[in-house]
């Protein structure tokens, strides 16, 4: 009797290829040689996007040209705008969630991109910039449609982060809100072979095109075990609040957590396949979000205090720590962003990592085609 070959469930620990883009270690997260805390403190999202897509830190003139190119690409083709007019109807009647609308928009953007079928390095970079520039406009217009408002056109005098918030609301964000959004985008931009990036590389490895690979990546990011965790984490905190009432009563919080443990529930925004001692991005975003909450008032501080109590119980009793999605949920809530847009905003950032990986795959390709250990029926005859 032969036993099935050894396999790695969930591909845990498997090194699938080499990459020069990002290094995820227990002790550090590094984008092209720069550590994440360094980038969060000193680099803008546009600088990080340039670093990831083009491969080096931009000088002043490179950065200006890059920003100008992005600004010039912010408008959407008319066909996409017409489609997005129906976003409110689809979302408000629960036929779709914003991640579905964004996935379809990315796919249709491919039909309208003159470089769609061209996988050359030059065409891929042009497409990556267009996607990076247009995704915030998709999110903004979609939110306008959900709220029954006219589309808010992109502005050419605002940063990527400020323009995203402006288009979603019609109001120019404060410099503080712009900064928090910008840092969250820096933190979300890249994370080596996570599920959505791996998806994009599998598609690219067949010589599929960038829009197809990104469409698949958006679908992968939607899941609660991956990018969807930022929405799920906030939903979980709202559930706890509903169950325990307005005060952060320690006994009630502990009771809620023990019930969740007894039911073997996965707590959203906690745990990570690689980071077993904590996610380096989480404390950076937590500190910024908490500061924003203190500026906004008691309700928001109490939300962070609830989150901190949950974190402490998870750490003390399970030695499981928050990932970046946990503080993200609380932070975006404090900023007044509607919960179903948290994961689309993640896309507005991770598009940089995905496109960098798709370009790296196309530049040095071998089709990704692993094997599986067969455990089905033994050989048998159809006529027996």
Contacts to ligand COA by CB under 6 A? 10, 225-226, 229, 266-273, 320, 323, 325
Marked catalytic residue, from 280, 325, 357, 362: 325
The answer to whether 311 and 319 have CB atoms below 8 angstroms apart is: no
Cα–Cα dist 230/309, whole Å: 18
- Based on CB atoms, which residue is closest to ligand COA, 151 or 188? 188
Cα–Cα dist 9/95, whole Å: 33
Q: Could you confirm whether 235 is annotated as catalytic?
A: no
Marked catalytic residue, from 17, 86, 226, 235: 226
Instruction: Give the tokens for residue 377.
Output: 């029926």
> Least distance from C-beta 126 to ligand COA, angstroms?
31
- Based on CB atoms, which residue is closest to ligand COA, 46 or 279? 279
- Based on CB atoms, which residue is closest to ligand COA, 269 or 327? 269
> Least distance from C-beta 51 to ligand COA, angstroms?
22
Q: Within 10 A of 278 (CB to CB), how many other CB atoms are there?
A: 15
- Based on CB atoms, which residue is closest to ligand COA, 86 or 312? 312
> Least distance from C-beta 282 to ligand COA, angstroms?
10
> Least distance from C-beta 272 to ligand COA, angstroms?
5
Cα–Cα dist 133/283, whole Å: 28
- Based on CB atoms, which residue is closest to ligand COA, 22 or 84? 22
> Least distance from C-beta 142 to ligand COA, angstroms?
23
Q: Within 10 A of 8 (CB to CB), how many other CB atoms are there?
A: 9
Residues in the chain: 384
Q: Closest CB to ligand COA belongs to which residue? A: 271
Marked catalytic residue, from 272, 280, 286, 357: 272
- Based on CB atoms, which residue is closest to ligand COA, 91 or 347? 347
The answer to whether 210 and 223 have CB atoms below 8 angstroms apart is: no
E strands within the chain?
22-24, 29-31, 34-35
Q: Could you confirm whether 226 is annotated as catalytic?
A: yes
The answer to whether 289 and 304 have CB atoms below 8 angstroms apart is: yes
DSSP assignment of 100-136, as one string?
A: HHHHHHHHHHHHH-TTTT--SHHHHHHHHHHHHHHHH
Burial group, residue 236, by CB count within 10 angstroms (0-12, 13-18, 19+): buried
Torsion sign across C-alpha atoms 118, 120, 123, 129? positive
The side-by-side arrangement of strands in the sheet containing 22-24 is 22-24, 29-31, 34-35
> Least distance from C-beta 323 to ligand COA, angstroms?
4
> Which residues are marked as active site?
226, 272, 325
């Amino acid at each position: 009797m032969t036993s099935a070959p050894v396999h790695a469930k969930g591909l845990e620990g498997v090194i699938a290829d080499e990459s020069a883009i990002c290094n995820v270690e227990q002790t550090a997260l590094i984008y092209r040689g720069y550590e994440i805390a360094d980038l969060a403190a000193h680099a803008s999202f546009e600088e990080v996007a340039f670093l990831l897509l083009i491969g080096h830190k931009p000088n002043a003139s490179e950065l200006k040209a890059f920003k100008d190119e992005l600004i010039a690409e912010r408008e959407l083709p008319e066909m996409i705008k017409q489609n997005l007019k129906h976003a409110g109807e689809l979302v408000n009647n629960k036929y779709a969630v914003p991640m579905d609308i964004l996935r379809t928009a990315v796919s249709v953007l491919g039909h309208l991109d003159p470089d769609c079928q061209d996988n050359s390095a030059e065409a891929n970079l042009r497409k990556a910039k267009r996607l990076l520039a247009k995704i915030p406009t998709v999110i903004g217009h979609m939110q306008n449609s959900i709220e029954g408002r006219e589309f808010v056109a992109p502005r050419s005098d605002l940063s990527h982060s400020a323009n995203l918030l402006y288009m979603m609301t019609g109001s120019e964000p404060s410099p503080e809100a712009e900064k928090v959004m910008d840092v969250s985008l820096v933190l979300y931009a890249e994370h080596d072979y996570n599920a959505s990036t791996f998806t994009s590389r599998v598609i690219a490895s067949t010589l599929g095109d960038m829009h197809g690979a990104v469409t698949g990546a958006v679908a992968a990011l939607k899941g609660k075990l991956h990018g969807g965790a930022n929405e799920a984490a906030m939903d979980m905190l709202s559930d706890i609040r509903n169950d325990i009432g307005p005060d952060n009563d320690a006994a009630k919080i502990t009771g809620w957590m023990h019930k969740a443990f007894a039911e073997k529930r996965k707590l959203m925004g906690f745990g990570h396949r690689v980071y077993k001692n904590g996610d380096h991005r989480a404390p950076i975003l937590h500190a910024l979000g908490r500061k924003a909450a203190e500026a906004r008032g008691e309700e928001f501080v109490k939300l962070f205090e609830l989150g901190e109590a949950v974190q402490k119980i998870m750490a003390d009793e399970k030695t499981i720590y928050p990932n970046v999605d946990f503080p993200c949920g609380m932070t975006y809530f404090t900023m007044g962003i509607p919960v179903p847009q948290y994961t689309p905003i993640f896309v507005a950032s991770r598009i940089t990592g995905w496109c960098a990986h798709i370009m790296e795959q196309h530049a040095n390709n071998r089709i990704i085609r692993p094997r599986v250990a067969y455990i089905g029926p033994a050989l048998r005859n159809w006529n027996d």
